[in-house]
Amino acid sequence: MDKDIVKEIFLLTFEIFKALCEIVWKKTTGLIALIWDRFFGLVDASREQATQQEWGVTGEDEWPSTPEAPSVKQEEPQQRVETKEVVYALQIPELPDAYGDNRIVLMVRDPEWLFTYWELRQDVIDSARNTLVSLAVGAKTILRVYDVTDIIFNGYNARKYFDIEVTGGARNWYIYAGEPNRSFCVDIGFLAPDGTFRILSRSNTVKTPRMGVSEVVDEEWMSIKELYEKAYIPMGRGISESVFERAHANWQEVLKEGVSSPESSGGLRF
């Protein structure tokens, strides 16, 4: 047998023996430590316990008084909760009632209803009242709603308008327009008894959605084959005629069941 092979076998055997010795040594030392803790450590603990439970010096008939738990520990959970509440109050301040702006915002709720909210500065209100002079006593706060469909609104060329009196110090209002697919704009201001109107702020323009299906119908419709060609051919994927034929047949069945004509679908497009 070759000497190198014998040497390798010997070294391998030595390493195995060394590993077994280490395992046995660890097990032995652990067992010795466990026995030491079980016997000698128990004796030390019993001595300490006996030392702590000595009789009082005033008389053997009196049991030693145990110290009461400090009251601070009992109140600790409550104090902790209060501390958290204080921290949260510091991190999240209350929202202010006003931001110092002078504006009115108009929004669409549905095809027939609008919603508006506003904030008016006191100096703007005082200035508008001063321009009305004696008429300011009987002036009312109103919302003037303009129909500005298909026009560039300059304040005087609205198609029509109507007024809503604002009462109770309100800062927002729901407006019934009753006309889908129309554009609206709102002014808030003072209306004097003689019909004089002083604007405080003007809103943005919004358009209500249509109530039904769109009347726009495309004259040109994309076929199934053209749809697949645009989707797959630029990606370098080859599609056989059988794929087109099956897809076309499936789409024809879907169209027969769900759609009778382009007009009834409201403009089904791809």
- Domain membership flag for residue 180: yes
DSSP β-ladder status, 172-176 and 113-119? antiparallel
Q: What mean pLDDT is predicted for residues 163-175?
A: 92
Nearest residue to 121 (alpha-carbon basis) of 201, 59, 41: 201
Nearest residue to 258 (alpha-carbon basis) of 121, 93, 51, 250: 250
Within this chain, do residues 123 and 201 fall inside the same structural domain, yes or no?
yes
Instruction: For residue range 100-122, list pLDDT tens digits in order.
Output: 889 999 999 999 999 999 999 99
Which of 78-82, 83-87, 145-149, 248-252 has the largest mean confidence?
145-149
- Domain membership flag for residue 71: no
- Domain membership flag for residue 18: yes
Evaluate if pTM is beyond 0.85.
no
**Reduced to 3 states, what is the DSSP secondary structure of residue 267?**
coil
- Residue 97 is predicted with a pLDDT of 75
- Residue 233 is predicted with a pLDDT of 58
Within this chain, do residues 200 and 231 fall inside the same structural domain, yes or no?
no
Domain end position, chosen among 181, 207, 233? 207
Q: Which domain holds residue 127?
A: 103-207
Residue 105 CB neighbour total at 10 angstroms = 16
Which of 16-30, 178-192, 236-250 has the largest mean confidence?
178-192
Task: For residues 82 and 105, give the distance between their C-alpha atoms in angstroms, rounded to a whole number.
Answer: 40
Within this chain, do residues 202 and 230 fall inside the same structural domain, yes or no?
no
Within this chain, do residues 203 and 116 fall inside the same structural domain, yes or no?
yes
Instruction: For residue range 189-222, list pLDDT tens digits in order.
Output: 999 988 899 999 999 999 999 988 777 666 666 6
- Residue 265 is predicted with a pLDDT of 45
- Domain membership flag for residue 8: yes
- Domain membership flag for residue 49: no
How many separate domains does the chain show? 3
The residue that leads in pLDDT, 243 or 184, is 184
Average pLDDT, the chain: 76
Within this chain, do residues 170 and 232 fall inside the same structural domain, yes or no?
no
- Domain membership flag for residue 246: yes
Instruction: For residue range 40-79, list pLDDT tens digits in order.
Output: 765 444 454 544 544 444 555 555 555 555 555 555 555 5
86 and 78 Cβ atoms separated by less than 8 Å: no
141 and 188 Cβ atoms separated by less than 8 Å: yes
- Domain membership flag for residue 140: yes
Q: What mean pLDDT is predicted for residues 245-265?
A: 60
Task: For residues 262 and 133, give the distance between their C-alpha atoms in angstroms, rounded to a whole number.
Answer: 62
